[in-house]
Amino acid sequence: MQTTEFIWFDGKLVPWKEAQVHVLTHALHYGSAVFEGIRAYKCADGTSAVFRLQEHAQRLINSGKILRLEIPYTAEQIADGIIETLKANKLAEGYIRPLSFVGLGEMGVYPGNNPVNTIIAVWSWGAYLGPEALEQGIRAKTSSFARMHVNTHMSKAKSAGNYVNSILAKIEAKEEGYDEAVMLDTSGFVSEASGENIFMVRNGIIKTTPLTSVLGGITRESVIQVARDLGFTVEEQLFTRDELYIADEAFFTGTAAELTPIREVDRRQIGAGHAGPVTKQLQQAFFEVVKGKNPKYASWLSHYTF
């Protein structure tokens, strides 16, 4: 990881190496934390912009509400802290990680009156699944680990504890020579990946998993809107992995993954085995949006300079 100079820690900018917590921090033992993944992009006009900053900040607050974490900041204060941290580190483009977590206090599952701490870190980060993946696509496998039932973990909270499920799926996929895991829900339908939402294209129709067992991805929502604005039919419906096998195209979306094609699932080639025409069109449109080249979506960008 490329470090930066400062991390925002409970409202103050502190040097990177001094942003530390105690080993008995509650979240370290029990996963009692919520976080966001956000990106900032260099724009065509010379400024930089955070993509859908307000929506990400609000989702952090919502995740805290679901987990009964009383985050001592508003969404607006989190958004302001993100811009402050980017400017302090003179980061024109990169990844942003806000995290709120139950801190040091009583031990045990019940967090009691332990404080809730909040940090914001930023760093340079390229394509999550590799730059070549954006064109060539990646290989995925169906995981042996199911995505959690909606009443075991709260699927609408982006909580740290939920990601143990994702870690297991990702390790399994990587150790078997794949780039990513496709996870099924507890009924056997395609859910999402270890950290991305999934789309498929068949006969000109774009399908994506409905918001049942999946996190409501902000990039997912954005791609759906852009696709519909381009005239595509987008359906949110359940589908099976064998329907995914015979798709013309498939791709993942997410803040980290952006819009990454899938060229193979379970050793079955998807479509032509690389980014298809619909995927390429949506990729181009998406990157035009995040880089400020499409004024129609200007409200999705929070610009800053330093």
Q: Hey, what are 117's tokens? A: 């701490």
Per the confidence metrics, is the pTM higher than 0.75? yes
Catalytic option among 141, 158, 170, 207: 158
Give Cβ neighbours of residue 221 (< 8 Å, ≥ 6 apart).
none
Query: Has 158 been annotated as catalytic?
Result: yes
Rounded distance between C-alpha atoms, residue 278 and residue 248, angstroms: 9
CA atoms within 13 A on the CB side of 123: 14
At residue 242 the predicted structure's pLDDT band, cuts being 50, 70 and 90, is: very high
The Cα 86–Cα 96 span in angstroms is 8
Is the pLDDT reported for residue 133 higher than 90?
no
Q: Give the whole-angstrom CA distance, residue 300 versus residue 206.
A: 23
Specify the pLDDT at position 30: 96
Give pLDDT, residue 151: 87
In this predicted model, what pLDDT tens digit does every residue of 34-86 receive, in sequence order? 999 999 999 999 999 999 999 999 999 999 999 999 999 999 999 999 999 99
Q: What are the residues facing 118 on neighbouring strands? A: 100
> 237, exposed or middle or buried, with CB in 10 Å at 0-12, 13-18, 19+?
exposed
Are 80 and 88 in contact, with CB atoms under 8 Å apart? no
Q: What is the pLDDT, as a whole number, of residue 2?
A: 82
Residue 127 has pLDDT above 90, yes or no: no
The runs of H, that is alpha helices, within 114-185 are 133-136, 163-175
Whether the pLDDT of residue 92 is over 80: the answer is yes
d(CA 177, CA 139): 9
Q: pLDDT tens-digit profile of 197-231? A: 999 999 999 999 999 889 999 999 999 999 999 99
User: For residues 134, 138, 143 and 148, what is the CA-based torsion angle, rounded to 10 degrees?
Assistant: 10
Residue 128 has pLDDT above 80, yes or no: no
Assigned token pair, 236: 């949110």
d(CA 236, CA 189): 13
Q: Which residues pair with 200 in a beta bridge?
A: 207, 250
